[in-house]
Structure 1
């Protein structure tokens, strides 16, 4: 669900071994002692090998968006998505940081510079947030295998260090919504490629490669952040489907869901109280 929690040290060059590395230098491992979680992560490591070997579209760090015909439909919805984002940002200071929802993200972010507004995570929907952004939700329904959809908000000066996502069975889409100038101070590196967001344009990449992102401008950057199922051939497609459906039972996902529900309850209760306050109260 994240821009990537990651584990210990980068011990090999994926291009040399013909596969992706599961680790990133300088990032502490997730501390999950549960036997169930350790078993699940062992299966994940095996599945990642399958996903790399049976990828329908190969394993480039960054994809040509023309490979995904539906991407153009998402881009066409940009004005409506941007308008809904603007309404969300009226309460920007009240939005949760990523680590408020997913505590494992503390391995890469501990400040208030990365905020989120979730519509869905691992297929579990936030009905209240979707109600606030119906056209955004309608647009992301065009994405086959949608798993996560949210607004990803980088405050001025935010820099996410090099890391990798927890699992290579999904690909990531960013749709540029608010992209301040200058371009040379705002970018994402995926493996050895530097990419710049553009408003109204989609960027699709594999977050299982080491990546980092930065906003060194003095303004907020926002993208629509989506994870969708990576196109795979059998048997990887079946294994990936099974893991995606089992993931919602892991402590990592359940904790994030509980944290989001608690934030959501408070956020919308405060909005309701504001609407119902006496007219003469300032």
Structure 2
């Protein structure tokens, strides 16, 4: 039986052309890891990280579905069902029932301009996310560490940039901002779960690229990739 192609494979040629245009119009350099302070809203989240953490922990890991169960397009990288995602918003769709459980977090992410997605991402003890890359240069990925295992050196993300490897353990209350189109891999080789607030925002660009990104993200909004997640979340709610 032929392997079912995901949105990543089906849109590769289009994404490569879109990415090349975006980077010609980008206000940021083409690099893997950024100083989170370039985003003016980061300080707001860091000031409230303890309250965001408390809301995430009150949800409870058993009420957070495995990403692989709700997103077929994540396929291989979400085969380890110990990677869990509590979605708050994605491509213009808000999960109102989830937001109602974390009202402060919901109010804070509503203040972030150019938001694409927002979720609590949980790596249970022993979880590994294999090497992969994201969908488009049009987004940057942000992590606010909420609960990091005590053995933090054994819970990290590795991001490739040419021959250089950025090895980034998380620290409670601290931020990480990166371009996920660079290959990256994640490990939690500890006996505790790791929680982060995971945000994706549009890359700052000049207006021609912003217009193109509007079209691209509208296409993603109505794609099978997003609609499958919505349908599976609805079935599980």
The one of 167, 181, 185 equivalent to 1:212 is 185
* 1:246 Cα offset (Å): 2.1
Structure 2 residue aligned with 1:110: 79
Structure with bigger gyration radius = 1
| Matches of 1:77 and 1:176, distance apart in 2 | 12
The one of 159, 167, 171 equivalent to 1:194 is 167
Is the counterpart of residue 140 in structure 1 residue 109 in structure 2? yes
The one of 59, 70, 74 equivalent to 2:45 is 74
User: Any idea what SS the aligned residue of 2:137 has?
Assistant: coil
The change in CA–CA distance for 1:121 and 1:30 in structure 2 (over 3 A counts) is farther
| Matches of 2:90 and 2:68, distance apart in 1 | 14
The change in CA–CA distance for 1:67 and 1:30 in structure 2 (over 3 A counts) is farther
TM-score, normalised with respect to structure 2: 0.91
Is the counterpart of residue 149 in structure 1 residue 118 in structure 2? yes
CA contact (8 A) 1:158 1:214 kept: yes
CA contact (8 A) 2:6 2:73 kept: no
Structure 1 residue aligned with 2:88: 119
CA contact (8 A) 1:73 1:142 kept: no
CA contact (8 A) 2:119 2:199 kept: yes
User: Any idea what SS the aligned residue of 1:239 has?
Assistant: helix
Is the counterpart of residue 231 in structure 1 residue 200 in structure 2? no
Moved over 6 A (4+): none
* 1:198 Cα offset (Å): 1.1
The change in CA–CA distance for 1:200 and 1:30 in structure 2 (over 3 A counts) is farther
| Matches of 2:197 and 2:78, distance apart in 1 | 19
CA contact (8 A) 1:74 1:142 kept: no
Q: Which has the higher strand share?
A: 2
Structure 1 residue aligned with 2:59: 88
* Pairing 1:169-180 to 2, within 5 Å after superposition: 169-180=138-149
Deviates more, 1:45-54 or 1:215-224: 45-54
Aligned residues: 230
* 1:146 Cα offset (Å): 0.7
Structure 2 residue aligned with 1:162: 131
* 1:111 Cα offset (Å): 2.6
TM-score, normalised with respect to structure 1: 0.77
